[in-house]
Structure 1
Amino acid sequence: MTEYHDPYQRSGRYLDIMIAGWWEHHGATVAEALRELPAGPVVDAGAGGGHGTRLIARTLPDTPILAVEPSPVLSAVLLSRVADDPDLRPRVTVHGDDLLAARLPERIGGMIMSNLIGHFSPHERDRLWEDLAPRLAPGAFVLVNLPPPTEPAHVERAAMSEIHVGDRTYLGWAAAEPAGDERLSWHMTYETREGDRVVSTDDVHYDWWTVSEDSLRAETAPHRLTVVPHGPAEAGLYKILRES
């Protein structure tokens, strides 16, 4: 097995608090989709520190959840949150595997893939759709978002988050450049400040495979899957369902 390279080895300590804004903004739209799922276990793929896991649990209070997160840093946050919550502890199972290596149930009631798809190459996504298609129960779907840009493009450096915790402030900036067909190279800077003093700075680079709506439709169709937009266009959310 290929050794897992954790793109969040250095940025993981910032990611959980900085991704919270996405869930605050789009959580209601995700929950609306969750309420349409049939009975059965729901997979939170790329669960991070558990924002989506907790949303699934609140929205579907009787549903078992499989939370898959391969980053050791983020998985530690996720497991601690699950273990510390008497509602989550008996029905959330945490897998520290990559989604392509995780042992999923033969039948699933649905899956959330939030801010994850760009970590998989076109070949890996083809393997993923092939594996998921027969597992989806009738009426089940994969809910995926396609973060912009959905094609390689220059992204000007911009502030993405500013979080205040105690006496410290955590800031993040992001920029990107095309790195070939369908790929971006993201450049992230994370900074911790206490007053006017810079406590620490971390610069992180990682590659991201861009996926457009058209390419998502084209790559899922051979697996008899269909793509349906969900919610406002700015959310970039899509349901991937088995053809009836």
Structure 2
Amino acid sequence: MDHTAYDAQAEHYDLLTAPMWSVLAPLLSTALRGLDPRHGPAADIGAGSGRGTALLARLHPHLEVIAVEPSASLRTALFTRVGGDVDLSRRVTVLADTAAGAVLPPRLSAVLLANAVSELSPRHRRDLWRTAAQRLAPGAPLVVNLGVPGGEPQTVVRVGRREYRNTGEAEPGEPGTVRWTITTEVRDGDTVVQRVVSRHVSWRLTTAELCRELAAAGFGVRRTGVVVVART
């Protein structure tokens, strides 16, 4: 994974993922309900701009969260969200690591991968499932989503006088991968005042394949739409 792949998108990333999170956040909150902070911190793997991190912290007032994000540009937004909130800055620790390189606490109350699993190669996924199975408290959830219900190919958000449009196009890449071209346009009326094109590669993964991988790592798996919950 090229961890600079999000650099071009970083300026508008949090803004343009907000509509998706309005749909996804309630689903993830339901899947994570009942986690026990006495079992240890929760880990947000691929935390991005920190929306999942904040969601985890809101679930329980005493929950510590470890936010793992390898992209320096996305960590800028993550630190802005965490550092601008007194409560989050007390309870969230940010690790500038990959899922494979992060040193997690020996016991965890939950693991969340929100919109992040397709960034991991099959080998790195298997390593993460094995680590999670070893460190999650009995019955603690590993929550992963693949996609968002009703997700649109184009996202449009208005801020003040300007409109922000984000469009993603996918095509097959090397075996097992997808090549994405993300185009962001900033419009003032009918005039495009800024246009940013970025490209990155993700790994192809179906929900059925994800469930099989988790079961092979020793998890019991429950699927609800696009959200998969695995417990030891």
Please say whether Structure 1 and Structure 2 have the same fold, judged by a TM-score greater than 0.5. Answer: yes
Aligned AA (2:31)? A
Map of 1:240 onto structure 2: 230
Map of 1:111 onto structure 2: 111
Map of 1:208 onto structure 2: 202
Deviation of the 1:180 alpha carbon: 4.3
Aligned ranges 1:163-202 → 2 under 5 Å: 163-202=157-196
Aligned ranges 1:22-171 → 2 under 5 Å: 22-39=20-37, 40-147=40-147, 159-171=153-165
Partner SS for 1:89: helix
Deviation of the 1:36 alpha carbon: 2.2
Partner SS for 2:86: coil
How many angstroms apart in 2 are the aligned matches of 1:165 and 1:144? Answer: 31
Q: Is the 8 A contact 1:110 1:140 kept in 2?
A: yes
Aligned residues with identical type, % of pairs = 35
Aligned with 1:228 (options 219, 222, 229): 222
How many angstroms apart in 2 are the aligned matches of 1:146 and 1:80? Answer: 26
Q: Is the 8 A contact 1:34 1:60 kept in 2?
A: no
The answer for unaligned runs of 5 or more in structure 2 is none
Deviation of the 1:116 alpha carbon: 0.5
4+ long deviations beyond 6 Å: none
Deviation sequence 1:76-109 (CA, Å, 0-9, x none): 1111221111111111111121121111111100
Higher relative contact order (CA 8 A, sep 6+): 2
Partner SS for 2:87: coil
Deviation of the 1:61 alpha carbon: 1.5
Partner SS for 1:87: helix
How many angstroms apart in 1 are the aligned matches of 2:171 and 2:105? Answer: 38
Aligned AA (1:16)? D
TM-aligned CA distance change 1:210 to 1:226, over 3 Å = farther
The answer for unaligned runs of 5 or more in structure 1 is 149-157
Aligned AA (1:42)? A
How many angstroms apart in 1 are the aligned matches of 2:160 and 2:122? Answer: 43
Q: Is the 8 A contact 2:49 2:77 kept in 1?
A: yes
Partner SS for 1:49: coil
Partner SS for 2:105: coil
Aligned AA (1:50)? G
Q: Give the superposed CA RMSD.
A: 1.8
Deviation of the 1:4 alpha carbon: 5.5
Aligned AA (1:87)? D
Deviation of the 1:167 alpha carbon: 2.3
